[in-house]
Amino acid sequence: MDEEVDINSSLLDEVRSINDDEFDIDSPRVEEEKVVNLAPLDSDTKVTKLAIFTIVGIVAVLNLFVLSYLMKIDLEQQIVTPQFRIESASIHPIQLTPIFNRPYNVPNAYKITTGWNITFNVTSLSKFRDASYSNIVATIYYYKEEPLWVTIIPGFYQEQQHHHFVHGNYTLSSVTVGLPLATLMLDEISSGSSSGFSVGLQGKIKQNMLRKKTNDSKKDVGSSSLSVLCQLDVEFLPTTGLMVGAQSGMCKTKLEKIEVDGKNMYSRS
């Protein structure tokens, strides 16, 4: 029994001595600071990094040159759609004369007699192209039926970012329309307004790319077919056929590049 007590006492003494060593507040432990000395880069490492940066810079510059060249080619090949709108419109009093079906003495058609004067405002939206217009046919429709009045507009030249006014003069003439269309027109004239009239333009446009600030150096971009449709809202003096006003928004314009070697390159609207 005495031996066991002695063993336990000795074990307790060892544990106390260990704890005293680990948690001795009178003698704190100070860790040594670790100092890392960075060795300077040798000359070969500096040269390698400089070469990498130089190669990356050269590649970036080459990419910019290639991108700008491709954008230039695309810019030269594209066609620029101009804007059309009706600046003013006037009309002679519309006269509708019935054509009777003999011997029943019932009208089966009408003869419409009138004349139009329409002025178009053509705006070039391109900073780098001038344009030449030719073969322009201006047609007036009524609810997109068969053409009623047709005239030719002389060709013209337009500089870049310029407005140009062109005139369509439809001389006093008569056309024959069927009974349904004539009845609709008579009803609208009696009501004092009509939104059934529209004006269409068909022609040809040729654009040139200006290579310099002066006009002495140009590149032929090519020719395109021109198609324009303008809606025309007309107000009449009721029952007389005399127009007292006309309004039109921006016209719908479409260019389609004329085929070269059997290939249609661009179509824009």
User: Does position 5 have pLDDT exceeding 50, yes or no?
Assistant: no
pLDDT, average across residues 168-175:
88
Residue 50: its pLDDT value, please?
A: 72
**Above pLDDT 70, what percent of the chain?**
67
Buried b / exposed e across 126-137, counting CB within 10 Å, b at 16+?
bebbbbebeebe
| Calpha distance 211→129 (Å, rounded) | 9
pLDDT, average across residues 117-127:
89
Residue 236: its pLDDT value, please?
A: 85
pLDDT, average across residues 116-132:
89
Q: How many CB atoms lie within 10 A of CB 7?
A: 10
Residue 223: its pLDDT value, please?
A: 86
